Amino acid sequence: MTAQNASEPIGFSLVIPVLNEAAVLPALFERLDDLIVTLDAPVEVIFVDDGSTDETKSLIRTRAAADSRFRLIQLSRNFGHQAAITAGMDLAEGRAVIVMDADLQDPPEVVLEMIAKWRDGFQIVYAERTSRAGESRFKRWTAHLFYKALRRIAAVDIPANVGDFRLVDRQVILAFRQMRERDRYVRGMFAWLGFRQAAVRFERPGRAAGETKYPFFKMVRLGVNGLVSFSDAPLQLALWIGLFVSLGALGYGLYVVIAALIGGHGLVPGWASTMVVVSFLCGLNMMLTGVVGLYVGRIHSEVKARPLYVVDAPETAGQAVVAAKPESAAAPPQAAGRATPAPEALGRATTAPAAQPVFDAYGTSYRGIVQDSVAFSGLDYSFFVRSKAGLLANLFAEHLPDRPAPTVLDVGCGVGALHPLLAPHCGELHGADISSACIEQATRDNPGVTYKAYQGLALPYPDAYFDAVVAICVLHHVPPADWAAFTAELRRVLKPRGLVCVIEHNPFNPATRLSVMRCPFDEDAVLAPRRKTCGLLSEAGFNDVQGRYFVFTPWTAPWARRLERALAPVPLGAQYLAFGRA
C-alpha cells in the first residue's frame, strides 16, 4: 500500500469530478502516477463521484485502498459538475488545489506548468485551450460566440477558451468557500474573485474514452448560469427595448401630425392614432418592466451573498480577508516549496502567535462586546450564561456519573464569564485562551480557577489530563484548514472515556449570523454547521458523538422544556451542541 507521511501538510490537492468514467480511469490512474512522482510535496487526489451508475466507484475504492493518497467523495445523487467541483474544493487540504476533468482532455502533464506559474507568485493559474480536438465545428462556433458575448456583457473579465481546469492557491480557495450561491458558474466565480491570475496554454486532446457528460442542453444551461450570474444585461434588455419602442412611437406620432397638417393623404382615419397610442403604451410598459428588472437585479446580487470585497493581504499569512483588521497580521508559513506563503485562515489567523493581539486589543472590553452581541439577538446576557452553565453541568452529571468532581478545561475561555457558575460542578476548573489580556482579567475575576495563555494550536497541558474539555464558540475562531487539528488536540488532553463538549453558532439561523457579525473579532468568522462539527469529532476519534440545536428560552415551565427538546433536531436554534466520549 502506498502512503505518505501524515505529519507533513498536503502540498497539492487534485480535485477530479467523475460521472460514469470507468472506461477512462485505468489510463487516468497511470497518468496521475507519473505526475505525482514528479511533485516535491505530499499530494492528495480527491475523486468526487457525482452519481455514477457504472463501475467508477468500485475502481476508485480499489485504488484508494491500495494508495492512501487517493480519496473518494461519493455524492448521494447527481448534483451536477459544478457542484461536484465545489464539494472537492471544500474538502481539499492542499496549499494549492488543481481542478481537472477525468476524461484526459485536461492533460495531467500541464499541471507541472501550472505549478511553475504558481511558484512565480500567481494565485490562479488557468489552462487556456489553443485547440479543441474532437469537437464539432458547431460546438466550437457556439463556444466562440458565447465567450464573446459573455466578455462583452459580464461585469467581470472571464477569459475565453477556458474551462474549469485550473490551479488555485489556498488563499483563493478560502475566499471561494464563502461564495455559496446555488446556480454556480465556477470559472466565472474565480474571475470575480480577482487575485493574480495567469494562463497556461495547451492543445486540448480528444476524450480518451467514454462519452461527454456535457450534451447540448447541459451546455446551454451552464451558459445561461454564466450570463445570469455575472451580468444584469438580460434584465436591462426590457428597459432598452421599451425605450426604443416608445421613441419610435413618438416619432411616428410626430409624422402623423405633420402628415395631417399638410393634407392627410394616405392616412386611414383612426388607424394612425390607435397605433401611436398602443405603441407608446407598450413601450412605456416595457420601460417600467425594465425598471423593475433593475431592482430584481439588485435582489439577485444580494441573494448571492458574495463578499463585498476580498483583500489580497500576503502580510497576514497570505490569507484572503473580507473586511480584515490590520491587527490580524501573522507570520507567513512556507508552503510546498513555494516562496509566497499559503494562507490558513479567512479574515483572521488566530492559530498563529500574532493573532493574540487581536483579542488582547479587546481584552478589557471583551465582556461588554459579547454582551452587546447577545443583547442584539434579544437575550439577556446573564440568562445566556446561566443557561450554558446549566447545560454543561447536566452533561457532566449525565455522561460522567463515575466522576462527581471532574477536572474540566474550558478552551477559549475569554474572561471566564461562565466560571463562577460552572466551578461548583467541577473538582478542578482550568481555563485557556490565546489572549493574555483576557487571561489576566479572568484571573482577577475568578481566583479559584487556574488559567493559562497559549499560542498556536497546541494546548499547554499533558496527554490524558482532563475528564472533560469544553470549547464554547471557539471553533469559528480557528481557520477551517485547522479544524481537524484543533479537535485532535481536544482529544489528546482528554482522559479515556472523557467528555468533549463543543458549542457553536448555528450558521443556518440568520439572526445568529447578524449577532455574530456585531463582534469586531467575529465579523468574518466561518461558522461550521452542526453536522460538520460532529464529523470532526468523529474523525478525531471520539465515540458516541451526538449533536442538537437549542434555543435559550427564559421559560422554565415543563411545556417549554418539552418544546425545546422537540426542536433539538431542527436547525432553528441560535446555537448547537456537539459532544462525544474519548
Distance CA 315, CA 326 (A): 10
CA distance linking residue 501 with residue 547, whole number of Å = 10
Q: What is the pLDDT of residue 31?
A: 93
CA dist 234 and 8 (Å) reads 49
In this predicted structure, what is the pLDDT of residue 335? Answer: 34
Q: What is the pLDDT of residue 393?
A: 86
CA distances from 49 to 15, 45, 100 (A): 11, 13, 13
Residues in contact with 355: Cβ distance below 8 Å, sequence separation at least 6, in sequence order: 328, 330, 348, 349, 434
Q: For residue 266, how many other CB atoms are within 10 A of its CB?
A: 7
pLDDT of residue 43: 93
In tens digits, the chain (582 residues) has pLDDT values of: 566 665 578 899 999 999 999 999 999 999 999 999 999 899 999 999 998 999 999 999 999 999 999 999 988 888 888 889 998 998 888 999 999 999 898 899 999 999 999 999 899 999 988 876 666 676 667 666 766 766 666 667 778 788 889 999 988 998 888 887 777 888 888 888 888 899 999 888 876 676 665 556 666 666 666 666 666 666 667 677 777 777 777 777 777 767 666 765 666 666 666 766 777 777 777 767 766 766 666 565 566 555 554 555 433 333 333 333 333 333 333 333 333 333 333 232 333 333 444 444 444 444 444 444 444 444 445 666 777 888 888 888 888 888 888 999 999 888 888 888 888 899 999 999 988 888 888 898 888 899 998 888 889 999 999 999 999 888 888 888 889 999 999 999 999 999 999 998 888 776 666 666 655 555 567 888 888 999 999 999 999 898 887 765 444 456 655 666 666 566 666 788 899 998
CA–CA separation, 474 and 46 (whole Å): 29
Identify the pLDDT of residue 45: 94
The reported pLDDT for the residue numbered 98 is 95
DSSP state of 554: S
Record the pTM.
0.48
β-sheet bridge partners, residue 500: 469, 580
